[in-house]
Structure 1
Amino acid sequence: MLLFHGGAGVAGTIDCYQNICNRITKGADVVLVSVGYGLSPEHPYPSQYKQCLAATVHFLQNAETYGVDPSQVVIFGDSAGGNFTSVVAQQLTKRGDLPKLRAQALIYGGFQAMDFQLPSYLQNSSMPFLTQENTVIFGLNYFNKDPALKEDVLRGSHVPDDFRLKYRKWVNADNIPQKFKRGYREVPLAPYKPEVYEKFPELMDLTFSSLFAEDHVIRQLPETLFVTCEHEVFRDDSLLYMKRLEDCGVKVRWFHSKQGFHGVMNFIDVGILSFPAGVEIVNCIIDFVESL
């Protein structure tokens, strides 16, 4: 297994994930490589996913050196690490010279930057540790963009009209199960502002918004575990991306933590701040790997 840690591309370290790695390694009896990558702004986008990709390619090419069957490699990550995982898996579909990934596990990751007004963003707009507003603020920091763009991006003014027509079939509350839309009232994207898109085109790129990949890429993805949390903004990103994979015939498993919130997996061995939902998610990952 290779782990790409979370932290919005601007924070997080291997050390922060040591307890998680220890539990998964012992529980699933696997070789686990925790990948360190440079953080923004010192290491600007897209260096994070490229470093994760380089580490994965290296491991696939040298797996037997570590006593690992190269056909049994799983990549996974949480939050931004889940985003990097999804991008790495898509990039590897272009590499016919490498062993295929056995699976990927996407833990409450963000997979689209088109619509920040989906039900989960509105329902959990003020939930720790990732609010609706902070989702965009962290994105601006990650890409080293002007903070003044925040409101326009939150409202969707960065999305060109042709993108809206093309991707609305995938980024749409109609694709989200009804039980997750309690109290939801659609908030249409604000009118397109070319000057906003020109300052921030990276948001809509496939190496960040992996949900926008074409069907022929999605069909080549490995078996995938999705982990969602009820009380967090990225829940619907996962539900929408999961539907894309299912529609394209990819084998999918899904675990939904009803008490979970963003980052809860990091709260498993911190005394009174430990949350059962975090342990539940780690155990789910272990069960997934053992079942492969």
Structure 2
Amino acid sequence: MTSLWLVLLESLSTFVLGVFVWAVVQHFLNVEIPSALQHSVKFRVIHCLALFVLTLGDILEKLRICSMPRFVQFLHDSLVIKKDSALVVTNMHFGTIPVRLFQPKAVSSKLQRGIIFYHGGGTLFGSLKACCVCSFLLRYCKLPDYHHPALAKDCLNASIYFLKNLESFGVDPSQVVLCGESIGGWAVANVMQILPSIPSLPQIQAQVLIQPLVNFINFQLPSHQQSKNVPFLTRDLMFMCMCKYLAIDLSWKDAMLTGAVIPLDKWKKYRKWLSYDNIPRRFWSQDPQPEFLAPFNETAYLETKHVWSAEISPVLADDKIIAQLPKTFLVSCENDILRDDVLLYKKRLEDQGVPVSWYHVEDGFHGCLMLFDKKCLSFLCSVKVVNAVVSYIKDI
């Protein structure tokens, strides 16, 4: 019996090692590491480990043992965040939505600023246990059990609950900031289309969007070409997460990438907000590829047409909705496939008179914010992003 267990253990070890070797090989075959990134070896190691976890999850899903998203979330939630002795941390629910409240231990007679933070993770990663960057953190419903619009609804409902009960949390109604990173930034843009229209609620003082996705239509933007193979958000991973969340079959990926799902009349209407021309020339490639729409595929369009809603592509919101948005802080990173989403949204807001502050990190990459407090796994760009966001919020 002992020998049988030894054989099984050896087989399992060999299998796990094989998967890890495969992940490392795939990393070096398919990934591009921009020269501007510091600590490239550390960056490669972290991505190899991430790819290893995703591959194991994919194998478990194919064997029908456990879905890949559930496996990834289990490992992610096992991470332990460091405790801050100056804070009181409370896990609670706003209705059915799990939230984590961070409050200073020091008692103050004055009402405090409130920060609502929607974590990133592409509906796959991210959790209350692994995030520690704010005063009030919301965990939204994720894959594999939930699809659009669950994420946006959770964020909206939890935010409304918080805004209706500010006094009980000791928060000044005139100093509430809505903040989100990656898919959380997308949720901020989505929620802020609705909150100003609810007159009974305190108005949000400012919104902070860190590397948000605001366009799921035009994939020919410069950053989509320049950073499509740059971790931690490659084009393949972005499509896998978003298509799963939006219930779009991945077989339509090529049609979406080439613009075959874009009707000519819609392109003429929205090109002024989505086009390559809205990106400052310094971000263009040395040899820019012109935007070119492949022949229209009506079947593909019908399967993907919901991406044209402002709920999914917030940059398409009507002028009157954009114009009522509060002052905004946008963060972009040079080596990020979503860099140009930030630039599109920046121009969209500025054209409607919304006060916009913008911070660009030349050596940054997607997801660097979540590594800022991870000690040896942190990067200088992670600290830059956190410091920029904190400085902006303190100064408003």
The TM-score normalised by the length of structure 1 is 0.93
Count of equivalent residues: 281
Q: Determine if contact 2:146/2:245 at 8 Å carries over to the other structure.
A: no
Q: CA deviation at 1:93?
A: 2.5
After TM superposition, give the deviation of residue 194 of structure 1 in Å. 1.5
1:11 matched to 2:114? The reply is: no
Counterpart position of 2:395: 291
Give the CA deviation at 1:197.
Answer: 1.8
Runs of 4+ in 1 over 6 A off after TM superposition: none
Whether the aligned pair in 2 keeps the contact of 1:10 and 1:141 (CA below 8 Å) is no
* Aligned partner (choices 170, 174, 198) of residue 67 of structure 1: 170
- Greater shift, 59-68 or 132-141, is seen at 132-141
Shift of 1:157: 1.8
- CA shift, 1:187, in A, is 3.3
Aligned partners of 1:122 and 1:132 also within 8 Å: no
What is the identity, as a one-letter code, of the residue corresponding to 1:196?
A
Taking a change above 3 Å as real, the CA distance of residues 133 and 156 of structure 1, as seen in their structure-2 partners, is farther
Q: Write the mapping of 1:51-200 to structure 2, written as runs, cut at 5 A.
A: 51-183=154-286, 184-200=288-304
**Is the 8 Å Cα contact of residues 163 and 202 (structure 2) preserved in structure 1?**
yes
Residue 367 (structure 2) pairs with residue 268 (structure 1): no
2-structure distance, mates of 1:163, 1:46: 23
Deviation at 1:72, TM superposition (A): 1.1
Q: CA deviation at 1:76?
A: 0.8
SS in 2 for 1:38: coil
Structure 2 partner of 1:29: none
> Does 1 or 2 have the higher relative contact order (CA < 8 Å, sep 6+)?
1
Residue aligning to 1:244: 348
Which deviates the most, 2-11 or 256-265?
2-11
Whether the aligned pair in 2 keeps the contact of 1:137 and 1:150 (CA below 8 Å) is: no
Larger Rg: 2
Displacement after TM superposition at 1:271 (Å):
3.2
Which segment is superposed worse, 105-114 or 160-169? 160-169
* Map of 1:213 onto structure 2: 317
Q: Tell me how large the CA RMSD over aligned residues is.
A: 1.2
SS of structure 1 residue aligned to 2:178: strand
Secondary structure of the structure 1 residue equivalent to 2:391: helix
Counterpart check, 1:222 vs 2:326: yes
Using the alignment, how far apart are the partners of 1:131 and 1:190 within structure 2?
Answer: 23
Aligned to 1:25: none
Q: Which moved more, 1:69-78 or 1:183-192?
A: 183-192
Matched residues in 1 for 2:171 and 2:148: separation?
Answer: 31
Residue identity opposite 1:207 in structure 2? E
**Bigger mean CA offset, 111-120 vs 124-133:** 124-133
Contact 1:149 1:196 in 2 (8 A): yes
Question: Share of identical aligned residues, percent?
Answer: 38
Q: Structure 1: 5+ residue runs without aligned partners? A: 22-31
Any conservation in 2 of the 1:229–1:256 contact (CA below 8 Å)?
Answer: yes
* Residues 136 and 154, structure 1, Cα contact 8 Å, conserved in 2: no
Amino acid at match of 2:199: G
The residue identity in structure 1 corresponding to 2:322 is I
C-alpha distance in 2 between matches for 1:40 and 1:96:
33
Alpha-carbon displacement from aligned partner over 1:13-66 (angstroms, at most 9, x marks no partner): 111212x23xxxxxxxxxx11001111231111010111001111111111111
Choose 2-11 or 136-145, whichever is displaced more.
Answer: 136-145
Q: Which runs of 5+ in 2 are unaligned?
A: 1-114
1:34 aligned to which of 137, 147, 152: 137
Q: CA deviation at 1:152?
A: 1.1
CA contact under 8 A between 1:10 and 1:142: conserved in structure 2?
A: no
The answer as to whether partners of 2:147 and 2:244 remain within 8 angstroms in 1 is no
Partner of 1:44: 147
Is this contact kept in 2: 1:41–1:144, CA < 8 A? no
TM-score (normalizing by structure 2): 0.69
Conservation of the 8 A alpha-carbon contact between 1:133 and 1:154: no
- Whichever residue aligns with residue 39 of structure 1, its letter is K
C-alpha distance after superposition, 1:112-148 (max 9, x if no partner): 1111110011011110011123322221111232221
Partner of 1:27: none
